[in-house]
Each structure stands twice: as C-alpha cells, then as structure tokens.
Structure 1
Amino acid sequence: MFIGIDDTDSRDKYCTTYIGTLLMEQLEKKYKMDIPKLIRMNPMVKYKTRGNGGVSLRVLGKNDGAPLSNRDIEYIKETVINLVEKYSDFECEGTNPGIVFLSEENYNKNKEILNNYYKKVLKDIVDINYTKEILDKVGAEYIIYKKGLGIIGALGSIASNPPFTYELLTYRKKEKWGTKRTIDSNSVVEMDKKTIPYTYNNVDGNKQIIAPNTKCPVLYGIRGTKKETLLEAMNMVNSEEIDKYRIYLTNQGTDIHLRNFKIKDIYANTGVRVYGEVSSNPKNIKNIVLFEIKDHTGTINCIAYEPTKSFRNIIRALKMGDLVAVYGTVRDSPFEINIEKIKIIKLAKQYIKDKKCECGGTLKSKGKGSGYKCNKCKKTIPYNDIKLIEIKRDVIEGFYEVPVSARRHLSKPLLLF
C-alpha cells in the first residue's frame, strides 16, 4: 500500500517530512515498511510552499508476514489522516494539503501511467484537475484540504523512480521549535571533509548550510549516496539534542529535472540542458551577468544572479565563439535560462596584434585599414600582414557550478559526476 502526502507545511510552521517520520514511527510498530521517499518536483512551480517536495510511504505488509486486511488498511488511513490534520498549517493561505492512497495492485497495473506522471511533474506545471484525472485512472483514493494542491506532489512522490540519493533528516525537541538552532559549524566542516564524496552540499566555505532557515521542526539534513555514511556523518555533527531522525530516499542531487533541448524548442518553467555557441559577450547589469547563446535553431539569453557569487566571474570570462553547455531552469519573464551549471566545451581563440617591429620600434596605425608604420625604421606593413599574438584566456575549459548555497535541491553537484 502506498501513501503520499504533500503541502502540509508553510514558511513559518511544520514540515511534511516530519509527518512522514511520525507515520513511520507509528506504522513500524505493526507493519513492515519500505524506506520513505522525499521527492522534489519541478522547482519552477510558483505556488510551492518551500522546496516543492512530496513525501511517500509504502506499507509492505504486517510484521508477521501476513498481507494487509481491510481492517489494517482502514487503520493506516485513519492514522495518516489524523497526523496530517494535526501537523498541517491550515492557517497559512498557501498551504493546501493533500493525501493519496494507492494499492499495490493498482500501482503495479499502472506503472507506465505513473512513470509518465512523474516525468510531467518534474518538467512541467501540473494543475490539480490533471492530477485528479490520473488518480481516477490508476484507481487511487485521495483527500484534499482547502485547494488540495498537495495531491499533485503526493502522487508525484508515489510515482517516482530512480535515480535516487538519500537524505538524513534530524528533528528538534518540540520546545525548541521556532527558536535559533544550535549547530557547531566547525564540526560540520570536519564532517564534510571526512565524508565527501559520499555526502555533499554540507558547507559553503567554512559555513554550515545543512540547517534550514525556517521555523520548522527540522534541525538539519545531510545529503549523500550511502546510508551508512549518513549515519556516521550525523554522529560527527555537534548540535543541540536531536529528538528523532529518519533517512529518506530522494531524487535530490540527480539533475532529473533537466532535459536536452534545441533552443527553438525551449519553453518557460522547465529545466534544460542546451549546447550552443556564445553569441554575445557577457554584460554586467547591476549584480547579474547576462550573455546570449545560439545554435542552428535560434538564440536565448542565459543569466547568473547575485547569489551565485564568484561563479559570475566564470561567466564574465566567456567570449563570443566559445562553445558551451548551459544547465538550468527557464524563466517566463524575462524569457531566459537561470544557470545552475555550465560546461565550457571549447574556448574560442583570442588574438591581439603584435605591434613590435623587428627593429625594436613600435608599429603605429596609418589609419583604419591602411596598415602600420614603424616609428623607428619607418618600415610599413600592410594591414592584413601584421602578426597576431594569441591571448591567454582568464578561464579554462571544464565544468563549473554555482556555490552550494545557490544550488537547487535537484541540481547534481559536480563531485557526483
């Protein structure tokens, strides 16, 4: 039996993963449970509460190996509903919880439909009516609260499939909720050094970034590719007392939201991977850097915002003619790619004219296109015959990413490539 929940939290209160953790604790007493999933959907969705992530659980059967009875199923549904109603921020206008229940039989019969739905919630903006159609098609039950937008992510989490990574989430004592978190940054830096590359996105320089900035129950989260390493990492972090913790299977750090596009086919509010040639030198506009790329189908602007910090220097060093692959999400207005990563495939050669005469003098221009004359020996050189010197570029070919603090949940860090 599959259970999906989403959109229970707000920026000020609660967390859907906390409900998932409480449900796991409660249901594990009677049932064999699969690892819970925390699945991020399209980051361009504007009505998301925080990280656009849905949680799903799978009940495999009773602890004694027996299948679920109707009585078990009713008990599970009642437990889910009670916890969602207790720990959802119904006072927040933007919080619209949803619950989805799907039987194992209906899941197995509708894998293709569910797989297509998962792809759609990753790449597009999905409305609730479309989700209701899919829910009815696959024989799922659902409960909506207020606008009920949570059923979109709830089903998306159930429908998800690899690639996956892991996140270990720790939670605070209730009396600490809403207060400043106590986490020793130095211990997080040390943990990062000892566990990388099996954990990632823990620090930005010497600053820990594993703790959220909201008033939710989460103390911190550590992301990685090995469950055992996550447990070791948790024991290396010095913090206030942990109330409980849980490891979630997740699609974070996978780039699963990106697709290859020709420029003419790009549309707003989706994730793209585009290969092209830099067709305009980068421009500085206040704190942002903007440049244009082209392929045989068209052109599009690419932008690096202020939160990307020194990454913008990489972008500033680009020149017309450079061949690049741009990874990012597409804004609707202005229509442009918000860069998450860039691969500089081939740098265009840049030259300056050698204005040193062989006699040691300096060649001076005789006028536009008229050639050069030495100020010492008076020798003249035709305009097209002057030697060119290749300039060393300020950047080298390779892969570059925005700093950890500016990365999206779904962005795959280079250390995982």
Structure 2
Amino acid sequence: MNEIPEAFFSDYPLLIRLNPVIPFKTRGNAATSFSLRIPGKKVNSLKSLVVGEFLKYLETVRGGGVEPGLAFLYGKVPAKLGKLYRKALTDYVHKDYVTGVINELSESIEVPLGYSRGLVGALAAIGASNSLSECTYEILVYRIRDNYLRERCVDEKTVKSMDSEFRNQTFLNYDYVNDKPLIMPSGRNPVLLGIRGEDPAILVRALKTLKLCEEFEGWLIYKTNQGLNAHHMERSVEEFRPYQTGCVKGKVIEKPSVRLGGDVLLKLSDLENKSSLWVVFFKETGLGKVARYLVSGDVIRV
C-alpha cells in the first residue's frame, strides 16, 4: 500500500477457491479479498486506487466470457456474508440471492462497477474471513504487466528440487506422472507461480530456491481454503442436487460400466434403497481403476 501509507492489512489477504463443479466458473475458480485498517478520510482515495487498478487489469486480460466483480464492505463482516461463502463453496448461487444480500446490507456494502456474476465470488471471499476454521497458505509471485501475455519462464529443474526439499511442508508442486510443474497457472494473468503449504515462512524459503528467468513485480502470501476439502460437506443421496458438492455414503446397486474414453459409471443408492444417483469416476482421477471392480452391495463413500 505504498500509495496510501496510512492503510494497514489487519490479516493475511484471502485467496478462496469456490464450488469446483459450477460449469460457468473461471479457470482458477477463485476469489480474493483483503481487510484494511484505514483512516476515514483516506477511504475515497483507496476506492479510487482499487477501482483504477481493477479496470486497468481487465483491459489487459479480460476475455472468454468472464464477469469479474468488485465489492467494498465497511465495518465488521456480517454473518450473512459468511452464509454466502458457505453456499458459494458447496452449491449454486443465483444472482437474485446475491442481489438480496446486497440490498439487505446496502448500508455497509458498495458495488462500484455494478452487478455481475463475479460479485458471488467477491462477496463470498469477504464472508470467508470469519468462516475459516482452518487454513493453508499460498505465496503468489506477480509478473510485470509487460509479461502478462508471454509464456512463463521458470526453471523446471529447480521446481523439482524445491519439491524434493519441501514436499512434506508444501503440496501440489509437480506432476510426476505427466512430468510438468503445477505451480504455474495457464492463461493470461498476472501470476507467475504459486507455492502452497501450511507455514508462510516455509513458503518464502521454498520460493528462494527457484530460478525465475523473467522479471517479476513482487510476491504476496495469502491465507486460503485450499487442500482442506472444504467443499466436501456430508449429504444424503436423496438431497443431492445438480451443481452441489459433498460426500455421500451409499450402496452400489448396478455393476459399474466402463465408458468410451475410460470413465467409469455406476449407480449408488442410500442404505435404505429409497433414493439413488449416478456416479462417474473420471479417467483423469485414476479412481476408475478401483471403481470398475466394485460389485452390487458394496458400500462406499464418495
């Protein structure tokens, strides 16, 4: 916050992954928020700064039908936003629901760029600040603006060696099956790489072992809900609906079938045989190798 030295972060900024099964999610399926302590006379300056940077970023990378959202909350985080976060994590959130939340909290919420689907993530990320019972961290390295559209340049050998040294304290660094790093995103965006783990100090040490062959703007550590199965809430077979996430315990009632391409399809009922649903084990997960050997009567949790 060099432009407004009177502003101070009150906690780590948040990087929140949302419902992974929503078909119109963004590639990263994430939203961010941060909480600041700032003198009242500087609030308008802060708003102008954030809106200006937000619009500048969109000019560079916007595309593909993405609808980003921007929201400001003044004061304490209300329980209503915590509820929105949990819904955005595990269910479909209709725009009317979000509109209702904004209208109900109109005295403390401002949406300077109007209503968009991205407001679901923006408000959910704010609501998450009071809803994370546990967390992990991610250190993100940011590119200079001139490099946004260029191929990322990180020495992959150093990614492997970093993973070897810190794999017990970090996660999802390298895919050894497909021989490619997992710390670099794809697409046009300002992030060069991200390292995930449970200790911010370890993330800084891990980053320093990497060889970065392009100039970068800086780095920032986020508190996140990644790697915690936060969206795996317990549900019954009967209550499961499209676009919801969760875990169910049920009984296999039909022999699994292997579909063209290698996916495995099976039918699951609740233990009382009152309701059923179809379950697909996608080839990419590797779970189909086990699922194809299930038989009628097997009880599983998915």
* Aligned counterpart for 1:172 among listed residues 129, 143, 153: 143
Q: Which runs of 5+ in 1 are unaligned?
A: 1-23, 62-67, 327-417
CA distance in 1 between counterparts of 2:86 and 2:55 reads: 29
Q: Does 1:88 align with 2:84?
A: no
* Aligned counterpart for 2:298 among listed residues 322, 326, 333: 322
Partner of 1:128: 95
Between 1 and 2, higher relative CO (CA 8 Å, sep ≥ 6) is seen in 2
Q: Match of 2:288, as an amino acid? A: R
SS in 2 for 1:259: coil
Q: Does 1:262 align with 2:236?
A: yes
CA distance in 1 between counterparts of 2:62 and 2:32 reads: 21
- With 264-273 and 316-325 compared, the bigger mean Cα shift is at 316-325
Label 1:184 to 1:320 Cα distance change in 2 as closer, same or farther (>3 A): farther
SS in 1 for 2:185: coil
Residues 97 and 145 of structure 1 are in contact (CA less than 8 Å); yes or no, is this contact kept in structure 2?
Answer: no
Higher strand share: 1
Partner of 2:288: 312
Residues 166 and 223 of structure 1 are in contact (CA less than 8 Å); yes or no, is this contact kept in structure 2?
Answer: yes
Partner of 2:252: 278
Label 1:168 to 1:100 Cα distance change in 2 as closer, same or farther (>3 A): same
| Higher Rg of the two aligned structures | 1
Label 1:313 to 1:53 Cα distance change in 2 as closer, same or farther (>3 A): same
Residues 98 and 150 of structure 1 are in contact (CA less than 8 Å); yes or no, is this contact kept in structure 2?
Answer: yes
Pairwise CA distance, 1:325? 0.9
Q: Does 1:289 align with 2:259?
A: no
SS in 2 for 1:272: coil
Label 1:26 to 1:273 Cα distance change in 2 as closer, same or farther (>3 A): farther
What are the residue-to-residue correspondences of 1:18-417 with 2, within 5 Å?
24=1, 26-27=3-4, 29-33=5-9, 34-61=11-38, 68-69=39-40, 71-89=41-59, 92=63, 94-105=65-76, 107=77, 110=78, 112-138=79-105, 139-143=107-111, 145=113, 148-160=116-128, 161-162=131-132, 163-205=134-176, 206-241=179-214, 242-287=216-261, 288-295=263-270, 296=272, 297-308=274-285, 310-326=286-302
Q: Match of 1:211, as an amino acid? A: M
Residues 97 and 144 of structure 1 are in contact (CA less than 8 Å); yes or no, is this contact kept in structure 2?
Answer: no
Label 1:26 to 1:306 Cα distance change in 2 as closer, same or farther (>3 A): farther
- With 175-184 and 152-161 compared, the bigger mean Cα shift is at 175-184
Partner of 1:366: none
Tell me the C-alpha RMSD between the 2 structures: 2.1
Label 1:131 to 1:140 Cα distance change in 2 as closer, same or farther (>3 A): farther
TM-score when normalising by structure 2: 0.88
In the TM superposition, what whole-angstrom CA distance separates every residue of 1:269-321 from its partner, at most 9, and x where no partner exists? 0102011222223211112111222222322221122322x432122232333
Q: Which runs of 5+ in 2 are unaligned?
A: none
In the TM superposition, what whole-angstrom CA distance separates every residue of 1:246-278 from its partner, at most 9, and x where no partner exists? 111111112111211111111110102011222
CA distance in 1 between counterparts of 2:62 and 2:157 reads: 38
Label 1:317 to 1:203 Cα distance change in 2 as closer, same or farther (>3 A): farther
Q: Match of 1:179, as an amino acid? A: R
Report how many residues are paired: 290
CA distance in 2 between counterparts of 1:30 and 1:98 reads: 26
SS in 2 for 1:83: helix
Pairwise CA distance, 1:86? 1.2
CA distance in 2 between counterparts of 1:218 and 1:91 reads: 15
Pairwise CA distance, 1:210? 1.0
CA distance in 2 between counterparts of 1:150 and 1:156 reads: 10
Q: Match of 2:48, as an amino acid? A: E
Q: Match of 1:214, as an amino acid? A: G
Residues 97 and 146 of structure 1 are in contact (CA less than 8 Å); yes or no, is this contact kept in structure 2?
Answer: no
Label 1:113 to 1:175 Cα distance change in 2 as closer, same or farther (>3 A): closer
